Amino acid sequence: MEPTPPPTRRRISAEALRSRHEVRSPEDLQRLSDFNRQIYLPLMLSAILPIVVAVGNASDDSGVSIAVNVAAWIVFIIDLVVHVRLIRGYLRSAVGIFDLVIVIITAPWFLIPGVGGSQILVLARLARLVRLLFVTKGARRAAARLGKVGVFAMGMVLFSSWMAYVAEHPTNPEFATFGDAMWWGIVTLTTVGYGDVVPITEKGRIAGTALMLTGIATLGLISGTLASAFGGHHAEATPPEPQEPPAPPAVPTDLVAELAAVRDELAGLQQRLAAITDVASETIP
């Protein structure tokens, strides 16, 4: 039977296991595991908040936008520096090169006049989301699951939009082109329901019902997957606490006394049996 590995081995995260042959020492391996658990939430916020701020503001000139982007950049610099320090040859690996490129491209170049609106900076901010896939195994599983959900939802949009277009186009002017049907399909799937394009035929409404049910199921799957990825990564890295063996049940005092009395009686019977045996051996020639 193989011995149980020590707790420090079980607490190593997926990111650390990926780099176990490159870390400088076992202690650095454990430090990398701990750091990855601690940096997960800051990395997630640093990848999402700049995109949210960019959507809400047309430019990067506002004070809030500048502060968010600079803080996010600093978080990714810290992540890169720690990995370079703990993993041998990190900048020669594919992930290390990717991290370095993201840090360089997303530097505060937007403070230079005329560079803030560059499309490459927008794409680099989106690429930060990919970095989250390298942090934990749970995040990679979530990305794979979301990809399958996205493919299924897109397939339903295409099929239902085509079905509605074929049914509605001859009689409904709102479905003048397949693009109109696609717009209706996306709005229906996301449960927004603008109401600017409405099917009037039976087949068109059947397609709309299928899209509405698909949208509700898709949103539920996405919410559950994100909750599992962003809230369950600690459970994957931290082993269960060792449990003490249960204490033996207490024996009642009365039972102990009765057992002692029975033992004394057995001892007395044994002595009497021995005496009878001696007498019998003397009387029988």
How confident is the model over 26-46, as pLDDT tens digits? 787 888 888 888 887 888 888
Q: Give pLDDT tens digits along the chain (285 positions).
A: 445 444 444 444 444 444 444 666 778 788 888 888 888 788 888 888 877 776 655 455 667 778 888 888 898 899 889 888 888 888 888 878 888 888 888 887 767 766 555 555 666 667 777 666 665 565 556 666 767 778 888 888 899 999 999 999 999 999 999 988 999 988 888 877 778 889 999 998 999 899 889 888 887 777 776 666 555 544 444 444 556 666 666 656 777 777 778 788 888 777 777 777 776 666 665
- Residues facing residue 23 across a β-bridge: 87
> Which of 89-92's residues contact partners 24+ apart within 8 Å by CB, and which partners?
89/22, 90/19, 90/22
Phi, psi of 3 (to 5 degrees): -70, 150
Of 92, 72, 96, 74, nearest in space to 83 by CA:
96
Residue 107, CA atoms < 13 Å, CB-side half-sphere? 7
Residue-wise pLDDT tens digits, 54-93: 665 545 566 777 888 888 889 889 988 988 888 888 888 8
- Angle CA 38–43–49, to nearest 5: 135
Global pTM reads 0.45
**Which residues does 166 contact at the CB level (< 8 Å), separation at least 6?**
203
Q: What residues are paired with 182 via a beta bridge?
A: none
